Homo-oligomer: A and B are copies of this chain.
Amino acid sequence: MDVVFVRWPQESERRDRLAQAEVPRLLLVDSTARAPDPVDCLEDWVRLPANDEDVRLRASCVARRAALHVDPLPDLDDDGVLRVGARWTPLPPVEARLTEALLERFGAVVSREALSRAGWPEGAPGRNALDVHVLRLRRRLAPVGLGIRTVRSRGYLLESESRQLSVRQA
C-alpha cells in the first residue's frame, strides 16, 4: 500500500479528496502551520523540517495501519491499462479518458460536462454518447471492483465497490 505525501496546508483540497477515497497519506506540515485536524485513521503528519528517518517511520506506520483495512488505489497507465491491485482491464481510448477524469477526483462528483470535455477534447458528439460510454465503462470496471455511482443532476462518482461507502436504497 502506497502512502501519498501531501503538503499541509497548501494541498488541503487534495488531502480531502484522498481522505474521501480512503487513500493513506502523510501530511508534511509547514513549520509555521497548525497541525491538521484529523479526518480519519489513514493519516499521520510530521512537522517540517524533519529527518528522513522520521518520515519513513511515520509513512510505514500509516501504511501498515492502512493495510489492515483499505482497498488498493486504482491506477491508469499511459497505455490504457487500468490496474486495481492484482486485477486489471484494458480500456479503449474514450473510456480511458473518462476514467482518467474520474480518477483525478476519485470519490468525488464529476459533472457530465467535465466528463464530456475529458472524453472528447475536440468537441462532444451527441448527448447520449456519454450515457452509453458510462454504461460500457461500468461493465468494464465492475470486474476489477470499481463502481460508478450517479448523483442525479450533478454527475458521476467513482468509488471502490468492495466497501459500502454510500448508502443504497432497498
Question: Which residues of A are interface residues toward B (Cβ below 8 A)?
Answer: 20, 22, 35, 37-41, 44-45, 47, 54, 57, 61, 64-65, 68-69, 77, 79-81, 83, 85-90, 92-93, 108-109, 111, 140, 143-144, 149, 151-155, 157, 163-167
Where chain A touches its partner, the secondary structure class is: mixed
Copies of this chain, count: 2
Q: Closest Cβ of chain B: how far from A153's Cβ, in Å?
A: 7
Complex-state Cα separation, A166 to B44, whole angstroms: 29
Chain B residues whose C-beta falls within 8 Å of the C-beta of A40 in the assembled complex = 41, 65, 68, 85-86
Q: Which of B39, B77, B151 contacts A79 (CB 8 A)?
A: B151
In the complex where A35-B57, A57-B35 touch, is A151 in contact with B90 (Cβ < 8 A)?
A: yes
Q: Closest Cβ of chain B: how far from A78's Cβ, in Å?
A: 9
Complex-state Cα separation, A54 to B61, whole angstroms: 18
Q: Which of B37, B65, B167 contacts A87 (CB 8 A)?
A: B167
Q: Name the CB-closest residue of B to A37.
A: B64
Chain B residues whose C-beta falls within 8 Å of the C-beta of A81 in the assembled complex = 108-109, 151, 154, 157
Cβ B154 vs Cβ A90 within 8 A: yes
Cβ B79 vs Cβ A61 within 8 A: no
Chain B residues whose C-beta falls within 8 Å of the C-beta of A35 in the assembled complex = 57, 61
Chain B residues whose C-beta falls within 8 Å of the C-beta of A108 in the assembled complex = 77, 79, 81
Give the residue among A47, A85, A143, A144 with the most B Cβ atoms within 10 A: A143
